[in-house]
Amino acid sequence: MSSLFPALTEALADPDGTAAHRSALRFGDRSLTYGELAATAAPLAARVGEAGRIAVWATPTLETAVAVVAALLAGVPAVPLNPKSGGSELGHIVADSAPTLVLAPPGDQLPPALAALERVDIEVGIDTDTDVRSTRPTAPPAPYAPAHALDRDLDLDPETPALVVYTSGTTGPPKGAVIPRRAVAATLDALADAWQWTGDDVLVHGLPLFHVHGLILGILGPLRRGGSVRHLGRFETAGVTRELSTGATMLFGVPTMYHRIAESLPDDPALAKALARARLLVSGSAALPVHDHQRIAEATGRRVIERYGMTETLMNTSVRADGEPRAGTVGVPLPGVGLRLTEEDGTTAVEAYDGETVGEIQVRGPNLFTEYLNRPDATAAAFTEDGWFRTGDMAVRDPDGYVRIVGRKATDLIKSGGYKIGAGEIENALLEHPGVREAAVTGEPDADLGERIVAWIVPADPEAPPSTDELADHVAGRLAPHKRPRVVHYLDTLPRNDMGKIMKRALTHD
Ligand code: MCA
Ligand code: AMP
């Protein structure tokens, strides 16, 4: 396979060439050119080259980007970890993915769940923006073998796993989606086609780096194009204004971020002006409400475009940069992606392009994952007999092929802040609290988060039920803060059918 990052390969081969001087990554006041990235990542690649699988403590920092690039150069699959994950979630991921070592920024304290792993510090050694041209990264440890990294990157089989990204299902703990190099390359090149994305683009975003959106699209995307990314560390509208006013050309975000932008616009003319200058504003990971589309378009004259993807499939569709932007749609299938809608039976194709007939989206193409790690049962269940991946998303198609997502098959999947969260894993965590006898979890509409997590609890002692904060802390500490319930309702019993199954549709609070 050819290099995943041609500009980096060029910089590795010719440290004094033009590519080496191009800007690659910037996080706050710390940045790396392609030459510096090569000089930093190649020795790390040599260091981890023999590892089976490596965990990356994926803070929103330069170190995470360097670690993942090093793993890709070495051909070793990286498992990005959410640094806010609680003990039981981390414990599961580490046990399931069995990494041989963990890469972490120097000085970061790692939780007990990672104590058994060998730790390797990600040494970057660039401190300030002003240093960038004059300072080389700290002397790499022996063996410093850029040629080794170069050879590995070029020689690797496209099916070599690049990343294992954990994603929630309706029940049970998260599953590790094994994403091969072939899928990373295919999806990024398809997006380049759809978005006219080039090495001249400068991307800004504040997405987390342990999911597909922030990591693959938001970091590996610009690097594959030979362009650059400026990461905000955490999302703030002031950072968006600053970067889009000083040369950034594209913005990626989840709908919650665009909602916060839409809320800020009436009082923030500088934000409106900055957004108006952008070449492309892209939203994904959940549906962007038409109201937010409209507010942004009215204040800036710019239309946000949506793309649709999934951890297992990377990107499937997008509104194209040269196409008609249309609020409420996720555009057309990307080059190379086969997309069909199917009827209830899961195999009969819906032929209609009428904007009305609903079917489940099924996809196939080079953008797909290989398997769920250690879960052949779940992998087999995710595909039809004839090889299509069942997304579980329900959609209609307009006469011109634009796809509109209208819902989801599983009511037990919640999308909150752009994160996919399984009701079952939260229910299990709640049931581990001594004050909880029974628990059910649902999602309800939320203007900011899209959906918010709601817990329905039968307390063990009705006289002394655990408080909302206590239950939120309990779930945040075990799983992750974004999985915490925002609202808790206390009931005497949960509504159940004759089979004893909880009837979630009967859980309403009026
Ligand atoms: C509050 N906090 C708590 C608690 N209560 N922490 C622990 N225990 C508690 N009980 C803290 C939080 O940790 C956080 O801390 C702060 O309070 C605010 O948290 P919260 O309200 O939950 O969220 P937010 O910070 O306002 O986050 C909104 C967000 C975030 C920035 C939009 O949801 C986000 O980054 N979403 C992106 C999701 C994403 O990337 N999805 C991609 C996957 P602190 O302030 O210190 O952080 S989907 C994907 O990849 C597919 C392929 C696709 O299509 O893209
Ligand atoms: P995840 O499994 O976390 O990667 O999330 C994938 C899911 O996010 C998809 O199955 C969709 O339900 C949802 N999703 C991603 N992008 C969009 C979008 N633009 N509009 C609506 N839903 C989306």
pLDDT tens figures, 106-117 = 999 999 999 999
Q: Whose CA is nearest to atom 14 of ligand 1?
A: 481
Residue nearest to atom 12 of ligand 1 (CA): 481
| pLDDT tens, position by position, 269-294 | 999 999 999 999 999 999 999 999 99
pLDDT digits (tens, 9 = 90+) for 475-487: 999 999 999 999 9
- Going across the sheet that includes 332-333, the strands are 30-33, 23-27, 228-231, 202-205, 250-253, 280-283, 305-310, 314-318, 332-333
CB of 408 closer than 6 A to ligand 2?
yes
Ligand 2 centroid from CA 310, angstroms: 5
Task: Write down the domain spans for the chain.
Answer: 6-182, 413-506
The token pair that represents 508 in the structure block: 């309403």
% of the chain with per-residue pLDDT over 90: 89
Confidence of residue 135 (pLDDT cuts 50, 70, 90): very low
pLDDT tens column, 376-426: 999 999 999 999 999 999 999 999 999 999 999 998 999 999 999 999 999
Which residue's CA is the closest to the ligand 1 atom numbered 16?
481
408, containing H or E segment = strand 403-408
Q: What is the pTM of this model?
A: 0.95
The reply to whether domains 6-182 and 413-506 share a CATH topology is no
Q: Is the pLDDT of residue 137 over 60?
A: no
Query: What torsion do the CA atoms of 108, 111, 113, 114 make, to the nearest 10 degrees?
Result: 20
| Whether pLDDT at 140 is above 50 | no
Strands, E assignment, 227-378: 228-231, 250-253, 280-283, 305-310, 314-318, 332-333, 338-342, 359-364, 371-372
CA of 285 to the centre of ligand 2 (A): 4
* Sign, CA torsion 113/414/318/231: negative
Q: How far is the CA of 284 from the centre of ligand 2 (A)?
A: 7
CATH of 6-182, one of 3.30.70.20, 1.10.569.10, 3.40.50.12780, 3.40.1190.20: 3.40.50.12780
Give yes or no for residue 214 CB within 6 A of ligand 1.
yes
Superfamily (CATH) of domain 413-506? ANL, C-terminal domain (3.30.300.30)
| pLDDT tens-digit readout, 254-272 | 999 999 999 999 999 999 9
Q: Is the pLDDT of residue 238 over 50?
A: yes
| CB 310 near ligand 1, within 6 Å | yes
| Ligand 2 contact via 187 beta carbon (within 6 Å) | no
Q: Is 284 in the pocket of ligand 1 (CB under 6 A)?
A: yes
- Reported confidence tier of residue 141, pLDDT bands at 50, 70, 90: very low
- What is the DSSP secondary structure assignment for residue 400, as one 8-state letter? T
Nearest to 191 by CA among 252, 118, 274, 104: 252
Q: Which ligand is nearest to the CA of 293?
A: 2
Average pLDDT, the chain: 94
Residue nearest to atom 9 of ligand 2 (CA): 310
